[in-house]
Structure formats: C-alpha cells, structure tokens
Amino acid sequence: MGQDKAIVRELVERIEGVAGTWFELEIEGASRKKTLVVEVGFDLDPNSAHFLRTACDEIERTFNTVVSEENGDVVSKLRIVNTAGKSAEKHSPDKHSPQNERRPQRASTA
C-alpha cells in the first residue's frame, strides 16, 4: 500500500483547527525550497477571541519534530494561513469591487 501524503502532513492534519495542508515549491535556478503550508479555520490574530495559540504551538512542534527526524525531502519552511477570512470575504464582497459593478446590457438585434 502506497503512502498518499508525507508523514508531516498526516500528523499536522490531526491537530484541532487544521483544515488542510499542502507543499509549495520555490525554485530559483538550481535551488529549490519546499514550504509546508497549513490551512487553519481559526483567526491568527493573537488579540482575537478565536485565536488558538495551543494549536499553532502544536503545529510548529510537530513540524520541527518530523522534519528533524525524517530523512526524506527537506522542508525548509512552515507557513500557517487562515481560511476563515477567505470565506467571509466571499460572502460579503466590497461594494466597489468590479464584480459587483453592473454592466450595460446589449440591445437585442433580433
């Protein structure tokens, strides 16, 4: 049976508040840097009532432990991003957004 995901992704995705993970590659000439991106469903503002410091700490601890023990592909960075803000933006678009501007209708030529 083949492994579907890197072990670091599997372990991080078990942490409360984590919505998903993926890798991003940054390539400059012959240099490659791999970043583990962790998508969370809570606010990342430490002043917010919805901030989960323990989850952030556990994500970082898990990442550091696995990366230091695993001899596979080297992951150089960890990035935690929030998805809660994305869904709020989709449901309440800016009034001045080009998507909300009304376009003139063409007259029918029939």
In whole angstroms, what is the distance from residue 11 CA to residue 57 CA? 14
| Superfamily the domain 7-92 falls into | ANL, C-terminal domain (3.30.300.30)
Query: CB under 8 Å to 64, separation ≥6 — which residues?
Result: none
Is this structure's pTM higher than 0.75? no
Spans of all domains in the chain: 7-92
Q: What is the pLDDT along the chain (110 residues), one digit of tens a residue?
A: 456 889 999 999 999 999 999 999 999 999 889 999 999 999 999 999 999 999 999 999 999 999 888 755 678 899 999 986 554 444 444 444 444 444 444 554 54
pLDDT at 92: 43
pLDDT at 98: 44
